[in-house]
Structure 1
Amino acid sequence: MKLLRFGDVGNEKPGMLDADGKLRDLSGVVGDIDGSTITPEGLASLAKVDPASLPVVDGSPRLGPCVGRIGKFICIGLNYSDHAAESGMDVPPEPVVFLKATSAICGPNDDVRIPRGSEKTDWEVELGVVIGKTAKYVDDKDALDHVAGYCVINDVSEREYQLQRSGTWTKGKSCDTFGPVGPWLVTKDEVADPQDLHMWLEVDGKRYQDGTTKTMVYNVPFLVSYLSQFFTLHPGDVISTGTPPGVGSGIKPNPVFLKAGQTVRLGIAGLGEQTQKMVQD
């Protein structure tokens, strides 16, 4: 299934994409696409719904984040060896873990607001893993049992705030609109192998990132298991699993950063695409 949320900010309705690519309204079936409805039981119930029985949504409504009320927005840094190399950093002996503020979350095609004074706003296409079943002290072999599905994430980053202004990475990752999520949550039964997905990103039509989840250092089952050793993962939590090479800060000898008026497009095979216009805050 491809599950999504549509409508104005803060008033999104649940939806489903049918086999013909038509948007169907799920609001008569569930209240939202969130931690309460993406459990194994909830997804099993939704799988029994005939999309043809649902109202078609006319036009092209705004798409919201594909998961509502995200509890934790957990990010993994330097999880692609070639990206670590372009950043001038070593592959970490254990995953680099940081949290992105949930106030950064926005829809997949919403404007991204460049913070006041920012000169180093950057892009990162990433595979998002959505938790559907509570996970605590989970083994690798059982980890995918706790995953509801996958989505596209742009881990927008302000590199000066992240790396040059002391402290943790959080403040360079958490500016408003720095977390576009969606367009839809693709349930795991439709993703044969999360470690074999092509991913890409373009700025004004120029392709900068063109990679694959094959080159992840720490794969999805390992990450779910690893994180569950430190804190409980709950349905509706999202893990952003790192980015392949091609970020603006890694371009040599002259890094490239985002400016107001530019358009970013990104996508992952089978998981959809995002498009964001950069605007000045």
Structure 2
Amino acid sequence: MKLMRVGEKGQEIPVVEYQGAHYDASAAVKDFDPEFFATGGIESLRAALERGELSNADITGQRIGAPLTRPSAVICIGQNYVEHAAESGDAPPKLPIIFFKTPNTLTGPNDNIALPPGSEKSDWEVELVIVVGKQAAYLETEAEAAECIAGYTLADDLSERAYQIEDSGGQWSKGKCIKDYMPLGPVVVTADEFDPHDVALGSSVNGEPRQGSRTSDMIFSVEYIVKHLSHYMQLEPGDIISTGTPKGVALSGKFPYLKDGDVVEVEIEGIGQQRHRMVARS
């Protein structure tokens, strides 16, 4: 199944894509939020589909929102691809580097993204995102970790590098927590229908290729990340974990940073594509 939310911002309804068709899920679930994931929502939704209880949904021309809402935590992994660490001037990490984004960084995959006033170093980062499906603490094996993953989605982990590096005081979140700087979606693909270990991901700016890699190049696997994090924090249903980006960002010095009017496209094989325009903040 693929979970998505459509409608104007703040008024989205839950929709499920199943066997090539779209269905209005609002008859079965309130929303794709922490409660949905905590209460076996995926299994209940699948059962409702199989019983034929959901009506078809026409999403043509509708805005696509972030495919889930109100996570208690937006956790991100830094430098999880060897070549991205190198272009950042660092050795590959021995353990996952983490930072956090605020939940209001989430927005729809095709929404316009407002640059901060005076921003000169906003950057793109295509990333595979883990959606946590059940509470996880002190996991002992990666098999246990896999059981805690509800599905996967796509993010552009937008970053303002001057805020992140020059103004940071040694941490990264100043450059990561700008409102709407985490376009998410278009869908969450349930874990039973997606193998995260070797899929293509990439990005472009104004139609020119930037990043191109495969998740097989990640230093830390999705299962290792969940297991590792569970020893430092209790993961909750509906939390999301962004797993890092490959080489090809503006921080490398090979490409210009984003400016008003630039169009960013990011894509992951099997999940879909985002296309958002950077605009001056009014």
| TM-score grouping bracket, smaller chain normalisation | over 0.9
Q: Tell me if structure 2 keeps the 8 A contact 1:123–1:156.
A: yes
1:176 corresponds to: 179
Structure 1 distance, partners of 2:15, 2:59, is: 12
Structure 2 distance, partners of 1:58, 1:225, is: 37
Deviation of 1:57 after TM superposition, in Å, equals: 2.4
Deviation of 1:102 after TM superposition, in Å, equals: 1.1
1:149 corresponds to: 151
Indicate yes or no: 2:193 matched with 1:190.
yes
- Give me the TM-score of the superposition, normalised by structure 1: 0.95
1:14 corresponds to: 14
Q: Which amino acid aligns with 2:77?
A: I
Q: Tell me if structure 2 keeps the 8 A contact 1:39–1:148.
A: no
2:106 corresponds to: 105
1:36 corresponds to: 35
Structure 2 distance, partners of 1:122, 1:138, is: 34
Deviation of 1:55 after TM superposition, in Å, equals: 2.9
Deviation of 1:203 after TM superposition, in Å, equals: 0.6
Structure 1 distance, partners of 2:121, 2:59, is: 39
> 1:36/1:226 Cα in 2 relative to 1: closer, same or farther (>3 Å)?
same
Structure 2 distance, partners of 1:153, 1:183, is: 9
Indicate yes or no: 2:2 matched with 1:2.
yes
1:77-226 to structure 2, matched below 5 A, reads 77-139=78-140, 140-167=142-169, 168-191=171-194, 193-226=195-228
Query: 1:84 is paired with a residue of what secondary structure?
Result: helix
Query: 1:202 is paired with a residue of what secondary structure?
Result: strand
Structure 1 distance, partners of 2:61, 2:172, is: 36
Structure 2 distance, partners of 1:146, 1:34, is: 16
Q: Which amino acid aligns with 2:177?
A: S
Query: 1:144 is paired with a residue of what secondary structure?
Result: helix
Query: 2:34 is paired with a residue of what secondary structure?
Result: coil
Structure 1 distance, partners of 2:143, 2:57, is: 40
Deviation of 1:103 after TM superposition, in Å, equals: 1.4
- Per-residue CA deviation, residues 24-65 of structure 1 (Å, 9 max, x unaligned), is 211111100112222472211111233864232253211111
Q: Which amino acid aligns with 2:83?
A: D
Moved more, 53-62 or 235-244: 53-62
Question: What is the aligned-residue identity percentage?
Answer: 41
Structure 2 distance, partners of 1:221, 1:58, is: 34
2:260 corresponds to: 260
Query: 2:109 is paired with a residue of what secondary structure?
Result: coil
Q: Which amino acid aligns with 2:190?
A: T
Structure 2 distance, partners of 1:99, 1:15, is: 28
RMSD, aligned α-carbons? 1.4
Residues matched between the structures, number: 277
- Give me the TM-score of the superposition, normalised by structure 2: 0.95
Query: 1:118 is paired with a residue of what secondary structure?
Result: coil
- Per-residue CA deviation, residues 149-201 of structure 1 (Å, 9 max, x unaligned), is 0000000000010011132200101101101111011000011x311110010
Q: 5+ unaligned residues in a row in structure 2: which ranges?
A: none
Structure 1 distance, partners of 2:60, 2:213, is: 33
